Amino acid sequence: MILPIIHYGHPVLQQKGAEIHKVTDSIRQLASDMIETMYASKGIGLAAQQIGKALQLTVLDVRGADRPSQLFVGAREMSLDIMMPLMLLNPKITKQEGEEMGPEGCLSFPEIYTDIPCASTIHVSSTDLNEEPIQFIATGLLSRAVQHEIDHLNGILFIDRMISSARKTLEPDLLELKAQTLSELKKHHKKASRGV
């Protein structure tokens, strides 16, 4: 099922996600719906906050992207076709190396793109949908995407990572988007309180 994506201005985007200790059928269904939603939106990653749930769950798939990625398990480079889509529960960055600037966008900020600094290489420790631990090293676009998604799971948005001049330039667009989201939320609340 394709789920509606929450836009900037909704408070759930700034909530830290609760850790998931038991993978229930509803978590499995949620992960599968998130993957469907990510593909339908042509995104390369989606965090649970973006569909309105403050949980430590994110899905990623960088195969269709125009920038390269590498994923290593131990010393071995893995084929992205084997590893994607990635479903990560309670992921943490245990080590990071290097820094780079690159263009970034977010499904919760339609049509807003800017250069964002991020670590070049990250070591990630996570759990998969079988409650098994998974550890990997990511470089390139995957490294950037995983950092972006882990930020979401902690209530941090890419606008919090922008350099101040970029943030200033985008401020009018951000204010407009926030106002639009809040007015839609208000409409929704009014409807809900009337019981329709």
Residue nearest to Zn ion (CB): 106
Residue closer to Zn ion by CB (options 4, 74) is: 4
Stretch that binds Zn ion, among 7-15, 102-110, 119-127, 187-195 (CB under 5 A): 102-110
Position 5 contacts Zn ion (CB under 5 A): no
Q: How far is the CB of 192 from Zn ion (least distance, A)?
A: 26
Q: Phi/psi of residue 166, each to 5°? A: -65, -40
Position 177 contacts Zn ion (CB under 5 A): no
Q: Which of 13, 106, 122, 141 binds Zn ion (CB under 5 A)?
A: 106
Q: Is residue 149 among the annotated active site residues?
A: yes
Question: What own/partner pairs with CB < 8 Å and gap ≥ 24 does 8-11 have?
Answer: 8/108, 8/109, 8/157, 8/159, 8/174, 8/177, 8/178, 8/181, 9/177, 9/178, 9/179, 9/180, 9/181, 9/182, 9/185, 10/52, 10/181, 10/185
Stretch that binds Zn ion, among 51-59, 104-112, 137-145, 175-183 (CB under 5 A): 104-112
Would you name the residues annotated as active-site residues? 149
